């Protein structure tokens, strides 16, 4: 006689005698907890990715603009990525405490390698014949608007 066969017919799936892969009553009983935990998880994930983008795009632009810094920026972001989370979170805890902020900062730092590398690849893929006129137009308009003598020619 097996353990499952000896279980009472009215045993719930919470019982150790019943081995259900999915327990529908658990989802019904814990729906509020599951929804709040899922919401918190999605919020932390979105915040970490957004913070990673805010950090990665300027770093990629700097790396593209100053090619001597590309190796340094990629090396630092890859070095951060190699730090295990069990070591990174205790390093952040004295500054941020045990909170969602610690997790968001840690996850954002882990996204840097992927986001910087891909943003840099995207910026490197822009042809020079497209990039040069755009850069000249942007800097020319800025220079014109910053000089008081030709301010009247600039239209926003």
Nearest-angstrom CA–CA distance, 87 and 76: 17
Least confident among 11-15, 92-96, 149-153: 149-153
Question: Are the C-beta atoms of residues 3 and 16 closer than 8 Å to each other?
Answer: no
Average pLDDT, the chain: 81
- Tell me the per-residue pLDDT of 8-61, one tens digit each, with 9 for 90 and over: 555 577 776 776 777 788 888 889 999 999 999 999 999 999 999 999 999 999
Higher pLDDT, 91 or 147: 91
Within 10 A of 73 (CB to CB), how many other CB atoms are there?
Answer: 20
pLDDT at 116 over 70: yes
Q: How confident is the model at residue 72 (pLDDT cuts 50, 70, 90)?
A: very high
Of 84-93, 126-135, 145-154, the one with minimum mean pLDDT is 145-154
- Which range (15-24, 39-48, 62-71, 78-87) has the least confidence? 15-24
Identify the pLDDT of residue 156: 37
So what's the pLDDT on residue 11?
59
CB count within 10 Å of CB 116 equals 25
Q: How far is CA 139 from CA 22, 51, 142, 146, in A?
A: 61, 28, 5, 10
pLDDT at residue 150, as a whole number = 52
> What's the rounded mean pLDDT across residues 146-156?
48
Given its phi and psi angles, is residue 84 left (phi above 0), alpha (psi -120 to 50 degrees) or beta?
beta
CB atoms near residue 113 (< 10 Å): 19
Q: What is the DSSP letter of 121?
A: H
**pLDDT for the residue 155:** 43
C-beta atoms surrounding 148 within 10 Å: 7
Q: Mean per-residue pLDDT for 99-120?
A: 93
Q: Residue 101's CB: how many other CB atoms inside 10 A?
A: 14
CA distance 118 to 116: 6
Say if CB 52 and CB 115 are below 8 A apart.
yes
């Amino acid at each position: 006689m097996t353990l499952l066969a000896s279980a009472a017919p009215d045993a719930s799936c919470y019982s150790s005698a019943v081995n259900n892969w999915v327990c529908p009553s658990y989802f019904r009983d814990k729906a509020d907890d599951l929804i709040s935990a899922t919401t918190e998880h999605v919020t932390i994930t979105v915040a970490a990715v957004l913070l990673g983008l805010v950090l990665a795009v300027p770093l990629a632009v700097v790396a593209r603009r100053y090619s001597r810094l590309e190796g340094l920026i990629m090396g630092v972001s890859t070095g951060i990525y190699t730090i295990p989370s069990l070591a990174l979170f205790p390093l952040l805890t004295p500054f941020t405490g045990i909170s969602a902020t610690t997790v968001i900062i840690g996850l954002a730092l882990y996204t840097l390698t992927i986001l910087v590398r891909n943003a840099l690849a995207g910026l490197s893929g822009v042809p020079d014949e497209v990039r040069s006129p755009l850069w000249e137009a942007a800097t020319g308009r800025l220079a014109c608007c910053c000089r008081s003598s030709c301010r009247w020619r600039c239209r926003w």
